[in-house]
Structure 1
Amino acid sequence: MDRQGERFYLVKEDLLSEAMTKTLEAKELLESGKAKTVNQAVHSVDMSRSAFYKYRDGIFPFETMVKEKIVSISIHLEDRSGSLSSLLAVLAGLGCNILTIHQTIPLQGKANVTLSIETASAKEDINGILKSLERLEHVKKVSIIGSGA
Protein backbone atom coordinates (compact mmCIF):
# COMPACT_ATOMS: atom_id res chain seq x y z
CA MET A 1 0.00 0.00 0.00
CA ASP A 2 1.62 3.21 -1.10
CA ARG A 3 -0.03 6.44 0.00
CA GLN A 4 1.82 9.69 -0.55
CA GLY A 5 5.19 7.95 -0.40
CA GLU A 6 4.34 5.93 2.74
CA ARG A 7 4.60 2.16 2.70
CA PHE A 8 3.01 -0.18 5.22
CA TYR A 9 3.99 -3.71 6.24
CA LEU A 10 2.41 -6.53 8.18
CA VAL A 11 5.03 -7.94 10.59
CA LYS A 12 4.81 -10.81 13.09
CA GLU A 13 5.05 -9.69 16.72
CA ASP A 14 8.18 -11.73 17.46
CA LEU A 15 10.08 -9.70 14.83
CA LEU A 16 9.32 -6.33 16.44
CA SER A 17 11.99 -4.53 18.40
CA GLU A 18 11.61 -4.27 22.17
CA ALA A 19 10.87 -0.54 21.86
CA MET A 20 8.05 -1.20 19.39
CA THR A 21 6.52 -3.90 21.60
CA LYS A 22 6.71 -1.63 24.65
CA THR A 23 5.14 1.20 22.66
CA LEU A 24 2.16 -1.03 21.88
CA GLU A 25 1.89 -1.98 25.57
CA ALA A 26 2.02 1.68 26.63
CA LYS A 27 -0.63 2.65 24.07
CA GLU A 28 -2.87 -0.14 25.37
CA LEU A 29 -2.46 1.13 28.95
CA LEU A 30 -3.45 4.63 27.83
CA GLU A 31 -6.43 3.45 25.76
CA SER A 32 -7.76 1.22 28.56
CA GLY A 33 -7.40 3.99 31.13
CA LYS A 34 -4.97 1.96 33.27
CA ALA A 35 -2.48 4.76 32.75
CA LYS A 36 -3.69 8.36 32.82
CA THR A 37 -0.62 9.96 31.30
CA VAL A 38 2.11 9.06 28.84
CA ASN A 39 4.58 9.34 31.71
CA GLN A 40 2.69 6.70 33.74
CA ALA A 41 2.38 4.40 30.72
CA VAL A 42 6.05 4.50 29.72
CA HIS A 43 7.13 4.08 33.35
CA SER A 44 4.86 0.99 33.65
CA VAL A 45 6.47 -0.70 30.63
CA ASP A 46 10.01 0.54 31.44
CA MET A 47 10.71 2.63 28.37
CA SER A 48 11.74 6.21 27.66
CA ARG A 49 9.25 8.86 26.59
CA SER A 50 11.39 9.64 23.55
CA ALA A 51 11.19 6.03 22.33
CA PHE A 52 7.42 6.06 22.87
CA TYR A 53 7.00 9.28 20.87
CA LYS A 54 9.25 7.93 18.13
CA TYR A 55 7.00 4.90 17.49
CA ARG A 56 3.52 5.84 18.75
CA ASP A 57 2.17 7.17 15.43
CA GLY A 58 3.69 4.41 13.35
CA ILE A 59 2.77 1.14 15.05
CA PHE A 60 -0.71 -0.27 15.61
CA PRO A 61 -2.18 -3.65 16.54
CA PHE A 62 -3.38 -5.42 13.41
CA GLU A 63 -6.98 -5.62 14.61
CA THR A 64 -7.25 -1.82 14.80
CA MET A 65 -6.13 -1.59 11.20
CA VAL A 66 -8.75 -4.05 9.92
CA LYS A 67 -11.68 -2.87 12.04
CA GLU A 68 -14.65 -2.09 9.80
CA LYS A 69 -12.73 -3.30 6.79
CA ILE A 70 -12.69 -6.15 4.36
CA VAL A 71 -10.34 -9.01 5.14
CA SER A 72 -9.36 -11.72 2.66
CA ILE A 73 -8.66 -15.10 4.23
CA SER A 74 -7.15 -18.23 2.72
CA ILE A 75 -8.25 -21.54 4.24
CA HIS A 76 -6.97 -25.05 3.51
CA LEU A 77 -10.03 -27.24 3.89
CA GLU A 78 -10.48 -31.01 3.86
CA ASP A 79 -12.78 -32.19 1.09
CA ARG A 80 -15.68 -33.50 3.19
CA SER A 81 -19.40 -33.13 2.75
CA GLY A 82 -20.59 -30.06 4.65
CA SER A 83 -17.14 -28.66 5.48
CA LEU A 84 -17.64 -25.40 3.56
CA SER A 85 -21.16 -25.08 4.94
CA SER A 86 -20.00 -25.41 8.55
CA LEU A 87 -17.18 -22.92 7.91
CA LEU A 88 -19.66 -20.37 6.56
CA ALA A 89 -22.02 -21.04 9.49
CA VAL A 90 -19.24 -20.20 11.98
CA LEU A 91 -18.49 -16.92 10.19
CA ALA A 92 -22.18 -16.02 10.06
CA GLY A 93 -22.53 -16.89 13.75
CA LEU A 94 -19.66 -14.49 14.52
CA GLY A 95 -21.46 -11.70 12.67
CA CYS A 96 -19.15 -11.59 9.66
CA ASN A 97 -20.60 -10.49 6.35
CA ILE A 98 -19.30 -12.84 3.64
CA LEU A 99 -18.65 -10.87 0.45
CA THR A 100 -16.94 -13.38 -1.87
CA ILE A 101 -16.16 -17.09 -1.87
CA HIS A 102 -13.74 -18.89 -4.15
CA GLN A 103 -13.02 -22.60 -3.75
CA THR A 104 -10.52 -24.54 -5.83
CA ILE A 105 -11.26 -28.00 -7.14
CA PRO A 106 -10.28 -30.47 -4.41
CA LEU A 107 -6.98 -32.25 -5.07
CA GLN A 108 -5.72 -35.06 -2.87
CA GLY A 109 -8.61 -34.56 -0.47
CA LYS A 110 -8.01 -30.84 0.12
CA ALA A 111 -9.31 -27.59 -1.34
CA ASN A 112 -8.26 -24.00 -0.90
CA VAL A 113 -11.03 -21.55 -0.04
CA THR A 114 -10.52 -17.81 -0.32
CA LEU A 115 -13.08 -15.65 1.43
CA SER A 116 -13.52 -11.91 1.58
CA ILE A 117 -15.36 -10.94 4.73
CA GLU A 118 -16.49 -7.64 6.19
CA THR A 119 -15.80 -7.49 9.93
CA ALA A 120 -17.52 -4.28 11.13
CA SER A 121 -20.36 -6.16 12.85
CA ALA A 122 -18.31 -9.16 13.98
CA LYS A 123 -18.58 -10.29 17.61
CA GLU A 124 -14.83 -11.03 17.69
CA ASP A 125 -11.74 -9.22 16.49
CA ILE A 126 -9.86 -10.71 13.55
CA ASN A 127 -7.70 -12.86 15.83
CA GLY A 128 -10.78 -14.35 17.46
CA ILE A 129 -12.32 -15.04 14.05
CA LEU A 130 -9.17 -16.84 12.87
CA LYS A 131 -9.00 -18.93 16.07
CA SER A 132 -12.66 -19.93 15.67
CA LEU A 133 -11.95 -21.12 12.13
CA GLU A 134 -8.77 -22.96 13.15
CA ARG A 135 -10.75 -24.94 15.76
CA LEU A 136 -12.90 -26.53 13.05
CA GLU A 137 -11.92 -30.17 12.54
CA HIS A 138 -11.78 -30.01 8.74
CA VAL A 139 -9.74 -26.75 8.61
CA LYS A 140 -6.01 -27.38 8.21
CA LYS A 141 -4.65 -23.84 7.83
CA VAL A 142 -6.01 -20.29 8.01
CA SER A 143 -4.13 -17.18 6.94
CA ILE A 144 -4.87 -13.56 6.14
CA ILE A 145 -3.92 -12.68 2.60
CA GLY A 146 -5.01 -9.06 2.58
CA SER A 147 -7.21 -6.33 3.95
CA GLY A 148 -8.69 -3.12 2.65
CA ALA A 149 -11.41 -0.57 3.12
Structure 2
Amino acid sequence: MAERYYAVREDLLPEGILKTEQVKELLRRGEAATVHEAAERIGLSRSAFYKYKDGVYALEQASRERIATLSMDLEHRSGVLSKVLGTLAASEGNVLTISQSIPLQGLANVVVSLDTSSMGGELTELLEELKVIGGVKRANVVGRS
Protein backbone atom coordinates (compact mmCIF):
# COMPACT_ATOMS: atom_id res chain seq x y z
CA MET A 1 0.00 0.00 0.00
CA ALA A 2 1.38 3.42 -0.95
CA GLU A 3 2.08 5.92 1.78
CA ARG A 4 -0.46 8.73 2.02
CA TYR A 5 0.18 12.18 3.42
CA TYR A 6 -2.17 14.77 4.83
CA ALA A 7 -1.85 18.45 5.63
CA VAL A 8 -3.75 18.96 8.87
CA ARG A 9 -4.44 22.21 10.68
CA GLU A 10 -2.42 22.37 13.92
CA ASP A 11 -5.39 22.71 16.28
CA LEU A 12 -6.76 19.36 15.04
CA LEU A 13 -3.61 17.37 15.82
CA PRO A 14 -3.26 15.21 18.95
CA GLU A 15 -0.98 16.57 21.67
CA GLY A 16 1.68 13.88 21.12
CA ILE A 17 2.12 14.86 17.48
CA LEU A 18 2.40 18.56 18.32
CA LYS A 19 4.88 17.94 21.11
CA THR A 20 6.99 15.70 18.88
CA GLU A 21 7.48 18.57 16.43
CA GLN A 22 8.26 20.92 19.35
CA VAL A 23 10.97 18.51 20.56
CA LYS A 24 12.43 18.32 17.05
CA GLU A 25 12.45 22.13 16.84
CA LEU A 26 14.38 22.43 20.13
CA LEU A 27 16.94 19.96 18.78
CA ARG A 28 17.19 21.74 15.38
CA ARG A 29 17.79 25.10 17.05
CA GLY A 30 20.36 23.62 19.45
CA GLU A 31 18.29 24.65 22.48
CA ALA A 32 18.50 21.08 23.80
CA ALA A 33 21.49 18.79 23.48
CA THR A 34 19.66 15.46 23.68
CA VAL A 35 16.28 13.96 22.91
CA HIS A 36 15.89 13.24 26.62
CA GLU A 37 16.47 16.89 27.53
CA ALA A 38 14.17 18.25 24.81
CA ALA A 39 11.37 15.76 25.53
CA GLU A 40 11.55 16.50 29.24
CA ARG A 41 11.32 20.26 28.62
CA ILE A 42 8.30 19.84 26.34
CA GLY A 43 6.60 17.25 28.56
CA LEU A 44 6.65 14.33 26.14
CA SER A 45 7.82 10.80 26.84
CA ARG A 46 10.82 9.64 24.84
CA SER A 47 8.85 6.59 23.67
CA ALA A 48 6.14 8.86 22.20
CA PHE A 49 8.83 10.97 20.52
CA TYR A 50 10.45 7.92 18.91
CA LYS A 51 7.04 6.60 17.85
CA TYR A 52 6.20 9.77 15.89
CA LYS A 53 9.53 11.42 15.00
CA ASP A 54 9.96 9.95 11.52
CA GLY A 55 6.43 10.80 10.44
CA VAL A 56 5.93 14.32 11.80
CA TYR A 57 7.24 17.37 9.98
CA ALA A 58 6.16 20.97 9.96
CA LEU A 59 4.97 21.72 6.43
CA GLU A 60 7.71 24.30 5.84
CA GLN A 61 10.36 21.82 7.06
CA ALA A 62 9.08 18.97 4.89
CA SER A 63 9.03 21.14 1.78
CA ARG A 64 12.77 21.79 2.13
CA GLU A 65 13.75 18.16 2.53
CA ARG A 66 13.37 15.06 0.46
CA ILE A 67 13.55 12.08 2.74
CA ALA A 68 14.17 8.48 1.79
CA THR A 69 14.11 5.54 4.17
CA LEU A 70 16.54 2.74 3.36
CA SER A 71 16.48 -0.73 4.88
CA MET A 72 19.60 -2.90 4.71
CA ASP A 73 20.70 -6.28 6.01
CA LEU A 74 24.36 -6.12 6.97
CA GLU A 75 26.76 -8.83 8.03
CA HIS A 76 27.79 -8.43 11.63
CA ARG A 77 31.46 -7.67 11.14
CA SER A 78 33.69 -4.71 11.74
CA GLY A 79 33.65 -1.91 9.18
CA VAL A 80 30.54 -2.81 7.16
CA LEU A 81 28.31 -0.09 8.65
CA SER A 82 31.19 2.39 8.40
CA LYS A 83 31.53 1.69 4.66
CA VAL A 84 27.77 2.09 4.19
CA LEU A 85 27.79 5.45 5.99
CA GLY A 86 30.81 6.55 3.95
CA THR A 87 28.96 5.71 0.74
CA LEU A 88 25.91 7.68 1.91
CA ALA A 89 28.11 10.68 2.74
CA ALA A 90 29.98 10.45 -0.60
CA SER A 91 26.62 10.60 -2.40
CA GLU A 92 25.87 13.80 -0.43
CA GLY A 93 23.03 12.12 1.45
CA ASN A 94 22.57 13.45 4.97
CA VAL A 95 21.66 10.81 7.58
CA LEU A 96 18.71 11.97 9.69
CA THR A 97 18.13 8.82 11.73
CA ILE A 98 19.72 5.41 11.97
CA SER A 99 18.45 2.33 13.74
CA GLN A 100 20.16 -1.04 13.93
CA SER A 101 18.69 -4.28 15.23
CA ILE A 102 20.66 -6.69 17.37
CA PRO A 103 22.47 -9.07 15.01
CA LEU A 104 20.80 -12.47 14.65
CA GLN A 105 22.48 -15.31 12.79
CA GLY A 106 25.25 -12.95 11.70
CA LEU A 107 22.98 -10.27 10.16
CA ALA A 108 21.70 -6.96 11.50
CA ASN A 109 18.92 -4.89 9.95
CA VAL A 110 19.78 -1.20 9.60
CA VAL A 111 17.16 1.42 8.76
CA VAL A 112 18.40 4.86 7.71
CA SER A 113 16.33 7.99 7.08
CA LEU A 114 18.25 10.07 4.57
CA ASP A 115 17.83 13.69 3.45
CA THR A 116 18.39 13.41 -0.29
CA SER A 117 17.85 17.08 -1.18
CA SER A 118 21.60 17.63 -1.84
CA MET A 119 22.16 14.39 -3.74
CA GLY A 120 23.05 14.68 -7.39
CA GLY A 121 22.33 11.10 -8.39
CA GLU A 122 19.32 8.84 -8.23
CA LEU A 123 18.50 6.53 -5.35
CA THR A 124 18.75 3.55 -7.67
CA GLU A 125 22.41 4.41 -8.31
CA LEU A 126 23.01 4.72 -4.55
CA LEU A 127 21.39 1.33 -3.94
CA GLU A 128 23.63 -0.28 -6.54
CA GLU A 129 26.69 1.25 -4.83
CA LEU A 130 25.52 -0.05 -1.46
CA LYS A 131 24.86 -3.56 -2.77
CA VAL A 132 28.45 -4.01 -3.96
CA ILE A 133 29.91 -3.23 -0.53
CA GLY A 134 31.20 -6.43 1.05
CA GLY A 135 28.86 -7.42 3.86
CA VAL A 136 25.74 -5.71 2.47
CA LYS A 137 23.29 -8.55 1.86
CA ARG A 138 20.23 -6.45 0.97
CA ALA A 139 19.49 -2.75 0.39
CA ASN A 140 16.07 -1.34 -0.49
CA VAL A 141 14.19 1.94 -0.41
CA VAL A 142 11.21 1.38 1.88
CA GLY A 143 9.82 4.90 1.94
CA ARG A 144 10.04 8.36 0.38
CA SER A 145 8.63 11.72 1.28
Q: TM tier, shorter chain?
A: 0.5 to 0.7
Instruction: Supply the RMSD in Å over aligned alpha carbons.
Output: 1.8
Please point out which of 116, 121, 125 is paired with 1:119.
116
Please point out which of 128, 132, 140 is paired with 1:131.
128
Q: Who is 2:100 aligned against?
A: 103
Identity within the alignment, %: 40
Shift of 1:119: 0.8
Q: Who is 1:142 aligned against?
A: 139
> Which 4+ residue blocks in structure 1 deviate beyond 3 angstroms?
none
5+ residue gaps, structure 2, are: 8-64
SS of the aligned residue for 1:132 comes to: helix
Q: Structure 1, residues 29-77: CA drift from partner, whole Å, max 9, x if none?
A: xxxxxxxxxxxxxxxxxxxxxxxxxxxxxxxxxxxxxxx5100010000
Instruction: Tell me the TM-score normalized by structure 1.
Output: 0.54
Letter of the 2:79 partner, please give it. Answer: G
Q: Who is 1:88 aligned against?
A: 85
Shift of 1:82: 1.0
Distance 2:142 2:83 in 1: 21
Larger Rg: 1
Q: Structure 1, residues 88-144: CA drift from partner, whole Å, max 9, x if none?
A: 001101110011000000111000000000111113111111111111111011111
Instruction: Tell me the TM-score normalized by structure 2.
Output: 0.55
SS of the aligned residue for 1:89 comes to: helix
Residue correspondences, number: 86
